[in-house]
């Protein structure tokens, strides 16, 4: 078995904010010695008639110790593009291919609450379908340094407001993403033994 | 204002089971005098790169008193094709175009529980984003005639098992769909005054 | 039938913040002509060994057109004291006594998100068990006047932070509670016909 | 550190069905070499005015590698008695005392679906508040031997129907509880390293 812990971050981003949060999560994971963090953006180009088709992404996830799911919150839930990917994992589900892998999640929306919890709940439901093991943020809310300022526990939340991805999510929310990345990488290494 | 109450049933069906349940819901709604029940199937043909584009469907929903959402439960949530439709309602959301309309939902999956509640919770979240008013099944579980045999309250659930749409959902689950249709049509008429 | 629409607000408050939000909801409901808004605080004094016993409250709710449920969010869900009340409504459930009444909900927690959505989802689940009809906030997020600043749709959310009930929830969150009260009173009158 | 993995099963049971499922979970956990499974029933006797007070139980949980939460589903969520216990863990929350422990959950209700998912979602929310790591059932639905016949993924579900605890949950649902117990004990040992 490889001595490196592979943490894959598979996400969809519509306007770029979720990409920024994904990068922060990857930065956090990479900061843990022995971790390879891989960013895997999902593209609408691979969705035909509502179905996601890109075997290479699924194979890459097979080879991961942990998979962190990310999506903006659109209309109270994960983006359709992310859901198309989720539906395309049915073969992995049937084969129990991702059983016992670590899973985690993150999401972005405009307002502080903004039904982001609903998206994290769905990402959790997806992971449970696969028999994965879920890791949340693991941090108390409103830390002095600003991490977890929104008060999220199931995963990392960030707020986009009405700002461009150049400035949103803000530094605190990106630091929150790093917390999640570090936590997943640390626990994935422990679980591999 | 029209003297007819229009109940639209907008749904995606992958293998045909959800279509059968949608037809049962429509049958129930139609049985209430003064109700026009309209079946609006969503097609993957209208989804390009993960985005649903069919203005005619949205316009048809604008003209409805009640909208009943339906989707199979795939990987612990609504089908991506349904979610693509949901995401395409963002313009209606911003305009509060569906505010105060009645909403309801139904879903189908293979097993008795099968995370169907997660799908109904999402359909509810979508309706709340739109400021709609939600109507559940309104019936106690395991009725003597078999309706609500699965024990669902937020909406109608049906089980597909491993059977073809010719025989699944079974008669009890289809009767449950009719209960939902009748209830929505009755309350939509009352709410119109 | 009475010409007055009765909107009951049944809530538990531990530290007083939820009482403030409940009063704002009542103020909003009362502002609609023909509405009697009744505040019904739940007391730990009526809970013996985890079971709520106060038949007078249940009878008062029987006589209401709409019931608005309120609770702080404790450990990711409604307060146990509220849940004890909810469990005590089993007799009303079995008799379908609250079927077709309007329902709505509100909650308070320290941080902006803080799993408040989880509490609103539970209040919704309770209402659906009873066959009630659910009304959410019905307002887009982050309004110019500050209402719905947290971005909530299923009901009203308010943030307590670390401040006393004298100053928290803040004016915007209390105005959000008023929005919910007005909306429920308006729709309850419409539904009565 | 002890060479034994301690799996605590903390649960409330009203009519005895949840006790039967808890015992099955304990049996499954005990079947894994090196595991001590401890059944910790919650009693209404320890709830005063809606607040659970029993420091011994909290201390016992401190000393556990994994905590499995169990409750019947009452009125669409966990029993108030379980919630009183959950609310009493606020001190452990503030101290992050249970951070990184494994968590899992199980529930019982009368009907096949019966909003049991809502209870499991709450148990998950509680675990995430504590920074625990969640393990679901990890099994595909409707296995040939009858385990996971209801189709649950976030945890173990069992159906009580209208039968006494002598015969309900049935053998399949109890075997499902054993699956959960074995899985938690196995992963807890791995995570301890």
Tell me the pLDDT of chain D averaged across its residues.
96
By the 10 Å C-beta count (0-12 exposed, 13-18 middle, 19+ buried), D184 is classed as: buried
| CA closest to B49 among chain A residues | A44
Q: Give the model confidence (pLDDT) of C61-110 as tens digits.
A: 999 999 999 999 999 999 999 999 999 999 999 999 999 999 999 999 99
> At a CB cut-off of 8 Å and minimum separation 6, what does A66 contact?
A5, A6, A7, A8, A101, A102, A103, A104, A135, A184, A185, A187, A188
What is the reported pLDDT for A109? 98
Verify whether the Cβ–Cβ distance A74 to B81 is below 8 Å. Answer: no
Coil, strand or helix at D142: coil
Check whether C2 has a pLDDT greater than 90.
no
- For chain D, 193 residues long, the average pLDDT of each consecutive 10-residue run is 88 97 98 98 94 96 98 98 98 98 98 98 98 98 97 98 94 98 97 81
Please check whether residue C127 is in contact with residue C69, taking contact to mean a CB–CB distance below 8 angstroms: yes
Verify whether the Cβ–Cβ distance B128 to C140 is below 8 Å. Answer: no
What is the reported pLDDT for A3? 82
| CA closest to C137 among chain B residues | B131
At C185, list the tokens.
């009173």
With cut-offs at 50, 70 and 90, classify the pLDDT of residue B3. confident
What is the reported pLDDT for B2? 66
| CA closest to A114 among chain B residues | B129
Q: How far does the CA of residue A128 sit from the closest CA of chain C (Å)? A: 18
CATH number of A5-192: 3.40.50.360
- Chain D environment of A136 (Cβ under 8 Å): 127-128, 131-132, 134
What is the reported pLDDT for D3? 82
Distance CA B51, CA D40 (A): 50
**Residue of D154, D185, D187 for testing the chain A interface, max A β-carbons within 10 Å:** D154
Considering the entire predicted model, what is its pTM?
0.98
Tell me the pLDDT of chain B averaged across its residues.
96
Please check whether residue B158 is in contact with residue B112, taking contact to mean a CB–CB distance below 8 angstroms: no
Percent pLDDT > 70 in chain A is 98
E-assigned strand segments in chain D: 5-11, 35-41, 47-48, 51-52, 66-74, 77-78, 102-109, 133-135, 156-159
CB pairs under 8 A between A and B: 108
Check whether B191 has a pLDDT greater than 80.
yes
Distance CA C118, CA B117 (A): 14
- Chain B environment of A129 (Cβ under 8 Å): 75-76, 115
At D110, list the tokens.
């009368």
Domain residue spans of chain B: 5-192
Distance CA D135, CA D48 (A): 32
Distance CA A38, CA B33 (A): 59
Check whether B82 has a pLDDT greater than 90.
yes
Look up the ipTM and state it. Answer: 0.97
**Residue of C104, C116, C119, C136 for testing the chain B interface, max B β-carbons within 10 Å:** C136
What is the reported pLDDT for B130? 98
What is the reported pLDDT for A46? 95
Q: Give the model confidence (pLDDT) of C136-182 as tens digits.
A: 999 999 999 999 999 999 999 999 999 999 999 999 999 999 999 99
Verify whether the Cβ–Cβ distance B100 to C138 is below 8 Å. Answer: yes
Compute CA distances A9 → A27, A70, A185, B184, whole Å.
Answer: 11, 7, 11, 42
Please report how the helices B116-129 and D116-129 are oriented relative to each other, as an axis angle in degrees rounded to 10: 80
What is the reported pLDDT for D192? 83
Q: Give the model confidence (pLDDT) of A79-117 as tens digits.
A: 999 999 999 999 999 999 999 999 999 999 999 999 999
Q: C-alpha A114: how far from its chain's center?
A: 18
Check whether A2 has a pLDDT greater than 70.
no
**Residue of A12, A45, A47, A83 for testing the chain B interface, max B β-carbons within 10 Å:** A83
Check whether B1 has a pLDDT greater than 70.
no
Question: Chains meeting C at 3+ CB pairs closer than 8 A?
Answer: A, B, D
Check whether B103 has a pLDDT greater than 70.
yes
Check whether C1 has a pLDDT greater than 80.
no
């Amino acid at each position: 078995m490889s001595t490196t812990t592979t943490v894959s971050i598979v996400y969809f981003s519509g306007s770029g904010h979720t990409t920024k949060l994904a990068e922060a999560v990857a930065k956090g994971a990479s900061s843990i010695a022995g971790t390879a963090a891989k960013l895997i953006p999902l593209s609408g180009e691979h969705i035909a008639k509502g179905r996601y088709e890109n075997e290479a992404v699924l194979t890459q996830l097979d080879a991961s110790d942990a998979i962190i799911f990310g999506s903006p919150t659109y209309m109270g839930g994960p983006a359709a593009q992310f859901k198309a990917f989720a539906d395309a994992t049915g073969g992995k589900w049937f084969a129990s291919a991702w059983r016992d892998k670590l899973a985690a999640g993150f999401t972005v929306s405009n307002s502080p609450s903004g039904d982001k919890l609903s998206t994290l709940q769905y990402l959790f439901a997806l992971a449970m379908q696969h028999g994965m093991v879920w890791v949340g943020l693991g941090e108390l809310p409103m830390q002095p340094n600003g991490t977890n300022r929104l008060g999220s526990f199931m995963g990392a939340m960030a707020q986009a407001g009405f700002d461009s991805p150049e400035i949103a999510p803000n530094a605190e929310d990106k630091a929150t993403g790093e917390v999640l990345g570090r936590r997943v990488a640390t626990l994935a290494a422990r679980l591999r033994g």
